[in-house]
Amino acid sequence: MISVSGGWALDYKMFSNVSINILFEISLRDVNRLLTEILKINVQLTNESISLLEEVTQKQAQLSEDAIFDIPGTLQITFIHNDPDLTIPVPPFNLLRSHSCLPTHYDKIAYSLT
């Protein structure tokens, strides 16, 4: 929905299978398209989010074409379901010290835990 609206996803963080946080950037002129795309897929936005998007759209309409610029945004999605938490195994610290690209303080932590 972000790319369809003309935006770019810059980064994301997934918190188990419960939540995802997406950082994005979008042209001010495309914020209304983003709102339309979000509502098309039946995502439930908070009243505060809808008000903010509508306010940005109204202010954008008052600006000249020369004043249009990219703005950052964050989309926090909470998945509502009955599935158990997704468990992602993390390798033990002693495996980390074999990677020379890691900062020295990781090596010290790994050695102190082994």
Q: How many domains would you assign to the chain? A: 2
Which segment of 46-55, 66-75, 88-97 scores lowest on mean pLDDT? 88-97
Same domain, 94 and 68: no
Top pLDDT among 110 and 53 is at: 53
Same domain, 33 and 67: yes
Q: Does the pLDDT at position 114 exceed 50?
A: no
Same domain, 14 and 47: yes
Specify the pLDDT at position 23: 94
Same domain, 55 and 104: no
Specify the pLDDT at position 100: 52
Neighbouring residues of 111: CB distance < 8 A, sequence distance ≥ 6:
97
Q: Does the pLDDT at position 107 exceed 60?
A: no
What does the DSSP assignment read for 10-34? EEEEEETTTEEEEEEEEEGGGHHHH
Same domain, 37 and 64: yes
Same domain, 41 and 96: no
Distance CA(114)–CA(9), nearest Å, equals 39
In a domain, 2, yes or no: no
**What is the model's pTM?**
0.65
- Which structural domain, as residue segments, surrounds residue 104? 88-114
Tens of pLDDT along 1-51?
Answer: 888 888 999 999 888 788 889 999 999 888 888 888 888 887 888 899 888
Candidates 64, 6, 69; CA nearest to 32 is 6
In a domain, 1, yes or no: no
Tens of pLDDT along 74-89?
Answer: 988 888 888 887 777 7
In a domain, 14, yes or no: yes
Same domain, 75 and 93: no
